[in-house]
């Protein structure tokens, strides 16, 4: 029975996690424990009280429709799944990103959930970027253009984090003040580390496209299994299980990237 992990294996497995961390590390706002409680927000421009960022409150800006004359009709604001972006009921000014806005707030996913509809997420992302993108707000004041750029960047970071299972899981743990770095192995067993090393050696010894396809298929199955584990862990609020699954998933992501680099 193996009682400890051999140092050369531990170093090699630690190195395997680096590409995944570099590719999928989620950018995030302040952790929950360090964030102040939501303040009573007011529009920076007109001072009007703003509602909290909920799906029923966040709306699209007033849209003007050309009627073919000097006048125009104003369409009724439509619900927009996001945090506060534009003060619809007041002066219509673009608002800054709040310190306590999470990536889930941006897409009106409440409460935060690991199980995300990726199709709906993409549609919402594209819709919001059309509204807050700097090009769409080029005629506004310099301050609003700056806020618009900040909103656009934040929405993009939120989308990139939530669209990927590993980044989404790490972000959800981050919101619970649980952080996973390159050296964190969770409670992964020495046997599991040995298995990872054996798979790596198989990759190094590949001699055909058929062998590559087989290893790729096996690794995709491992990733799918770990994603299912994460879904169950977050549903049960078992953060220890979720952390261990994230550590394993980092290894499988690294192997996935290595497999993509193999060509025949």
Pairwise CA distance, residues 176 & 174, whole Å: 5
Q: What is the pLDDT of residue 60?
A: 36
Can you give the pLDDT at residue 69? 37
Do 104 and 124 contact (CB within 8 A), yes or no?
no
Strands 64-66 vs 72-74: parallel, antiparallel or unpaired: antiparallel
Output 240-247 pairs: Cβ under 8 A, ≥24 positions apart: 240/187, 242/169, 242/172, 242/173, 243/173, 243/178, 243/180, 243/186, 244/186, 244/187, 244/188, 245/169, 246/166, 246/169, 246/170, 246/173, 246/180, 246/186, 247/180, 247/184, 247/185, 247/186, 247/188
pTM confidence score: 0.73
pLDDT at residue 218 in the model: 95
Q: Tell me what pLDDT residue 46 has.
A: 83
pLDDT at 100: 77
Instruction: Give the chain's domains with CATH numbers.
Output: 32-175 (1.10.287.110), 182-260 (1.20.1280.20)
Q: At 236, is the secondary structure helix, strand, or coil?
A: coil
pLDDT tens-digit profile, the chain (264 residues): 333 444 444 444 443 333 333 333 344 445 555 555 555 467 888 887 765 443 333 333 332 233 333 333 333 334 344 445 776 666 788 888 877 788 998 888 888 999 999 999 999 899 889 888 888 889 999 998 999 999 899 999 999 999 999 999 999 999 999 988 766 666 677 888 888 889 889 988 888 999 999 999 999 999 999 999 999 999 999 999 999 999 999 999 999 999 999 888
pLDDT for the residue 31:
54
Q: What is the rounded CA–CA span in Å between residue 222 and residue 216?
A: 10
For residue 93, what is the DSSP state?
P
pLDDT value of position 245: 94
Read off φ and ψ for residue 74, nearest 5 degrees.
-105, 120
Question: Does residue 83 sit in helix, strand or coil?
Answer: coil
pLDDT at 121: 94
Look up residue 10 and give its DSSP letter.
H
Which element (helix H / strand E) includes 64? strand 64-66
Cα–Cα distance measured from residue 234 to residue 109, given in angstroms and rounded to the nearest whole number: 15
């Amino acid at each position: 029975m193996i009682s400890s992990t051999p140092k050369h294996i531990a170093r090699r497995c630690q190195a395997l996690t680096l590409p995944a961390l570099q590719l999928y590390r989620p950018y995030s706002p302040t952790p929950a424990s360090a964030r102040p409680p939501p303040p009573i927000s007011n529009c920076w421009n007109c001072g009007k009280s703003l509602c909290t960022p909920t799906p029923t409150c966040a709306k699209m800006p007033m849209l003007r429709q050309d009627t073919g004359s000097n006048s125009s009709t104003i369409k009724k604001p439509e619900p927009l799944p996001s945090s506060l972006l534009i003060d619809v009921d007041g002066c219509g000014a673009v608002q800054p990103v709040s310190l306590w806005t999470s990536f889930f707030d941006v897409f009106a996913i409440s409460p935060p959930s690991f199980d995300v509809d990726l199709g709906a997420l993409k549609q919402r992302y594209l819709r919001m970027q059309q509204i807050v993108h700097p090009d769409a707000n080029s005629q506004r004041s310099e301050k609003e253009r700056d806020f618009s750029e900040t909103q656009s960047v934040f929405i993009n970071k939120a989308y990139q984090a939530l669209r990927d299972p590993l980044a989404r899981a790490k972000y959800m743990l981050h919101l619970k003040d649980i952080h996973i770095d390159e050296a964190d192995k969770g409670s992964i067993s020495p046997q599991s580390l040995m298995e990872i090393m054996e798979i790596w050696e198989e990759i190094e010894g590949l001699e055909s496209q058929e062998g590559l396809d087989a290893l790729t298929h096996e690794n995709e199955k491992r990733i799918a299994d770990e994603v299912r584990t994460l879904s169950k862990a977050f549903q049960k609020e078992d953060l220890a299980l979720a952390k261990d699954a994230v550590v394993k998933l980092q290894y499988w992501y690294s192997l996935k990237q290595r497999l993509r680099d193999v060509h025949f």
